[in-house]
Structure 1
């Protein structure tokens, strides 16, 4: 009798499982259909109803719908697939050299593809392929309308200014792009496809780094997912911009920090602090102000460290500070070739010191008003088109999730305050550096600050502000609904951003 009852229960459980599976598939198809509606609705709103845009949108909509339907439970895999799929769309649809600073970044990648790791101070040594001129002459032209489907010439030319503009970044930032260019030449691809292959390899590196960060972190995986799939991040990664490398390494570093933060008492070892310090030093040569992340372990509760590990935190800070100063001295040896008129760092510092109270007020106002730069996260091209409305919606979405998403671990006030101080320090450092190096002497407005500069500390926001309930207080259905929101809403933002780009050129 008991055996028969057990068999009946197994059949009921199997039936319930199958029913739940069918409901989940139906829900996924509903979300996919909604994605298609968002696609064509956005195209209509942005006035992209011409034949070519409709054809591309139809193909992209089918890809997106299938992506939504077949996304799995592993968040890091979903992130990788989303970044690659939408990154490829951005990569192929965005015209040649039509992303921020792509001209200079392409020059550096071509320079590295020749095996040149450091930018020379001698103009005669700044040699890259003359195909740079070919590509530059086709700027703003699309994949379907250009004259680059020719073989690489292999002839060298002198190109100095673009290369000098990248001296603040180490060669490692350009390895993915250079590998793409080099492989394209190795298999005798045309100039056009070698160019696009460099974009694609940069995108793949970014996708791998974001997926790795999501897999590593035990906390706020969903927030890492949202920040890592932000449209501007993927858009930049689908170009030659070295920010893809910098943002990727920053996300991995923060994921490693959250891993340290979640450890039990006396579990943080010396080797882990050494590894974290090494990552911060790598950040120094890619996104300089973010070296301040090296301070974060100092705000982890002391009880979580092994005996010698906490002392190593401060040794790591000193080492990172020394390395940062050495790197600054190295890269400032070659002046930036495109400095605006009236810019002089020494005179700007003298101006700030001359009336410190008034200038502190001025900088405070700029820091407050500078928050609006986050809207530039939805300005694409050479910041030539965008949507402030999408920017506002995204900030509202990310802010809401960061504050109210269910918490996984209660943090000490010191840890939260430390994260706030570090994030504020990075924000001030970015703004101050642009005032010193990109703003005319005596100006009351800081020039050159862009929203994408701050993508790196988005994962820190929930650590500072999260006040959500514990996951233990939620029902399984609520947890599932939270998961759907954080996975699907970023896809819809990507859809709208892609249609905005599509409308601009097709």
Structure 2
């Protein structure tokens, strides 16, 4: 491993431990629901097919989930964490093991796969009869350790010089923040990195062994199963050299639907649309005036772009604290430097048609996520798309950087980029004049 790679992984390990143990319980996005999901998985509850059934959680965990002080911190900047919360006996008492039954709403929308490391930590804590706080951090710690060692393994297996793209992605504070908390993001990022590794190795390998194709298909399946709205990554199947793309496509598509079907049914039982939200009526609204929806989409993109970029690099907690503004420029500058310094051999260059498909993958993913939020979380006829966060798009970064590295060597793409950027700059400046005086 290169010296600077060792430095980066040392930084990741230290920062990961800080995010794991210094961030108080429930101070990461939606950690309440993810924590409950991991607890239930550690008890063997994989999916839910019984409407109205309440599920068992120990009192020592419900005390954390419903703690008023912990729940007040995200919404009051002046409230600090009281460290006396940790002053408890190491081992749980008989009263701590008392079972309470909670409504499972919000716990079974996704497959159980992303929560396996958390559940393992909680299971070990239960076997050792450790108190609820230690159990909580055990789940976090197991997720971080799993992600950390998988990142090292994937980095070592990725073809040079593209391994540096993954190293940059792994260094993002937001990624480290998410792999050290409860949620599906940690496993999703690991699966996305594995997919990038196998995609790169297949795309730039003279030998196309069946095991490499199998690893690619398995990584794609895991990536799609750990989170919704990334189905555009099926396009990668058309970019790898394979004699039978249809067979590979079906070998991923069929297990994808078979595994996800029980969870779609399960999510149907818990799903309650917020007041005014109706996906079917929203679709009808879009169909009635697609140009209006396109305008909403563009306006929302422009208003959210800064927030999404910052969020992909690092906005922490319940989006209630971030880094010094200068730090964001450091990571953006590092990305530009990385694109500039990676040199490609002529044999590594992709044709223009494949570059267009590659570029379409993150673009379509972004559009799909935004559209799904508009359908499932916004009131019918809403004039804005919001609620999406930069962490949703973090895993698109290595694919975007890879496209940029390829595009800088493609004269057709460079010309198109110059024309597009020039057009946007010109229209933006003219629009500024018009809105000022007319």
TM-score by length of structure 1 reads 0.70
Matched, 1:105 2:34: yes
Matched residue, 2:235: 295
Which residues of structure 1 form unaligned runs of 5+?
1-71, 471-506
Matched residue, 1:73: 2
Matched, 1:336 2:336: no
Q: 2:128 aligns with which of 187, 191, 216?
A: 187
Q: 1:154 aligns with which of 90, 97, 106?
A: 97
Displacement of 1:437 in angstroms is 1.2
1:222-261 residue pairs with structure 2 within 5 A? 222-261=164-203
Structure 1, residues 455-483: CA drift from partner, whole Å, max 9, x if none? 1111101221116999xxxxxxxxxxxxx
Q: Give the distance between the partners of 1:354 and 1:469, measured in 2 at CA.
A: 41
The change in CA–CA distance for 1:213 and 1:75 in structure 2 (over 3 A counts) is: farther
Displacement of 1:165 in angstroms is 1.6
Q: 2:325 aligns with which of 369, 372, 389?
A: 389
Displacement of 1:186 in angstroms is 1.7
Q: Secondary structure at the match of 2:124?
A: helix
Matched, 1:437 2:341: no
Q: Give the distance between the partners of 1:213 and 1:100, measured in 2 at CA.
A: 26
Displacement of 1:323 in angstroms is 4.9
The change in CA–CA distance for 1:342 and 1:274 in structure 2 (over 3 A counts) is: same
Contact 1:277 1:320 (C-alpha < 8 Å) held by counterparts = no
1:165-176 residue pairs with structure 2 within 5 A? 165-176=106-117
Supply the RMSD in Å over aligned alpha carbons.
2.7
Q: Secondary structure at the match of 2:53?
A: helix
Larger Rg: 1
Q: Secondary structure at the match of 1:164?
A: coil
1:278-317 residue pairs with structure 2 within 5 A? 278-300=218-240, 304-305=241-242, 308-316=243-251
The change in CA–CA distance for 1:97 and 1:187 in structure 2 (over 3 A counts) is: same
Q: Secondary structure at the match of 1:273?
A: helix
The change in CA–CA distance for 1:227 and 1:275 in structure 2 (over 3 A counts) is: same
Displacement of 1:402 in angstroms is 4.5
Task: Report which stretch shifted further, 460-469 or 421-430.
Answer: 460-469
Contact 1:299 1:414 (C-alpha < 8 Å) held by counterparts = no
Matched residue, 2:298: 364
Q: Secondary structure at the match of 2:100?
A: strand
Structure 1, residues 51-77: CA drift from partner, whole Å, max 9, x if none? xxxxxxxxxxxxxxxxxxxxx626765
Contact 1:403 1:465 (C-alpha < 8 Å) held by counterparts = yes
Q: Secondary structure at the match of 1:124?
A: coil
Q: Secondary structure at the match of 2:25?
A: coil
Contact 2:51 2:269 (C-alpha < 8 Å) held by counterparts = no
The change in CA–CA distance for 1:263 and 1:147 in structure 2 (over 3 A counts) is: closer
Contact 2:111 2:260 (C-alpha < 8 Å) held by counterparts = no
Q: How many residues are matched?
A: 389
Which residues of structure 2 form unaligned runs of 5+?
74-79, 410-438
Matched, 1:133 2:69: no
Contact 2:48 2:266 (C-alpha < 8 Å) held by counterparts = no
Displacement of 1:341 in angstroms is 3.2
Contact 1:108 1:166 (C-alpha < 8 Å) held by counterparts = yes
The change in CA–CA distance for 1:217 and 1:129 in structure 2 (over 3 A counts) is: same
Task: Report which stretch shifted further, 206-215 or 343-352.
Answer: 206-215
Displacement of 1:357 in angstroms is 1.9
Contact 1:176 1:205 (C-alpha < 8 Å) held by counterparts = yes
The change in CA–CA distance for 1:78 and 1:143 in structure 2 (over 3 A counts) is: farther
The change in CA–CA distance for 1:107 and 1:400 in structure 2 (over 3 A counts) is: same
Displacement of 1:80 in angstroms is 4.4
1:257-272 residue pairs with structure 2 within 5 A? 257-264=199-206, 267-272=207-212
Q: Give the distance between the partners of 2:289 and 2:370, measured in 1 at CA.
A: 19
Matched, 1:426 2:361: no
Q: 1:198 aligns with which of 135, 139, 142?
A: 139
Matched residue, 2:310: 375
Structure 1, residues 274-312: CA drift from partner, whole Å, max 9, x if none? 432232222222122223323213124xxx44xx44443
Matched residue, 1:488: none
Matched, 1:459 2:395: no
Task: Report which stretch shifted further, 128-137 or 291-300.
Answer: 291-300
The change in CA–CA distance for 1:159 and 1:282 in structure 2 (over 3 A counts) is: same
Displacement of 1:176 in angstroms is 0.7
